[in-house]
């Protein structure tokens, strides 16, 4: 067999390829008892691969293997509407600095709060070109290049911030935009 990415053909014992013979789909439903309690379960539908007709269905526990027998009214699950999901609100502000002269701009020194993301975009580059200094070292960035650092929120450990250093050094002829978001 040569080539890539064609249909997967299954042998039928006579070494004649055939299309798959069934399609299986799962739907999450709820079994609502007379007292209003609701139990989620899976309903598996198996369709014939030739004509798409429903050939069987089965009710299963959420593990997908244990048989389940509904005892109340089967409905589409409405979700938990009794307790609203927790909402975390944070006020973030955005800042932008365009660097047009030779020098070094330190994002953390300019920020008044906790830095969450930084993007450096080189609009144009002089002969020597700008560079970025981070904890990993110094990297040259080129005209038209844009580089972003961001922190993913990890509420469980209380960490969702970038840590320094992060500074941009420009040379004659460079024009660099530095944008960052921070929160108090």
* pLDDT of 2 strictly over 50: no
Q: Report, in this order, helix, strand and coil percent for the chain, each rounded to 5.
A: 5, 50, 50
Cα atoms in the 13 Å half-sphere on the side-chain side of 18: 11
For residues 24-42, average pLDDT: 85
The segment with the largest mean pLDDT, out of 3-12, 25-34, 90-99, 135-144, is 135-144
Q: Flag the least confident range among 38-47, 49-58, 65-74, 124-133.
A: 49-58
Instruction: Identify the residue with better confidence: 75 or 154.
Output: 75
Q: How far apart are CA 176 and CA 170, in angstroms?
A: 8
Q: How far apart are CA 44 and CA 59, in angstroms?
A: 6
Contact criterion met (CB below 8 Å) for 26 and 42: yes
* pLDDT of 109 strictly over 80: yes
Q: How many residues does the chain have?
A: 184
Instruction: Identify the residue with better confidence: 131 or 26.
Output: 131
Cα three-residue angle 175-178-182, rounded to 5 degrees: 170
Instruction: Identify the residue with better confidence: 106 or 116.
Output: 106
Residues sharing a CB contact under 8 Å with residue 166, sequence separation 6 or more, in sequence order: 106, 107, 108, 115, 118, 132, 133, 134, 149
* pLDDT of 64 strictly over 80: no
For residues 29-51, average pLDDT: 82
* pLDDT of 8 strictly over 60: no
The mean of the pLDDT values for the chain is 76
Cα–Cα distance list, 56 to 27, 60, 66 (Å): 14, 13, 17
């Amino acid at each position: 067999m040569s080539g890539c990415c064609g249909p997967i053909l299954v042998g039928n014992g006579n070494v004649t390829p055939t299309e798959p013979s069934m399609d299986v789909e799962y739907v999450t439903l709820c079994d609502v008892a007379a007292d209003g309690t609701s139990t989620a379960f899976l309903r598996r539908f198996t369709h014939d691969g030739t004509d798409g007709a429903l050939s069987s269905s089965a009710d299963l526990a959420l593990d997908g293997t244990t048989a389940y027998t509904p005892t109340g009214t089967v409905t589409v699950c409405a979700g938990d509407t009794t307790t609203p999901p927790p909402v975390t609100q944070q006020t973030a502000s955005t800042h932008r600095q365009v660097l047009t002269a030779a020098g070094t701009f330190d994002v953390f020194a300019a920020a008044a709060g906790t830095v969450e993301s930084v993007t450096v975009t080189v609009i144009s580059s002089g002969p020597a070109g700008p560079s970025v200094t981070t904890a990993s070292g110094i990297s040259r960035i080129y005209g038209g290049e844009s580089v972003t650092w961001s922190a993913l929120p990890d509420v469980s450990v209380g960490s969702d911030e970038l840590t320094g250093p992060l500074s941009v050094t420009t040379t004659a002829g460079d024009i660099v935009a530095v944008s960052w978001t921070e929160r108090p």
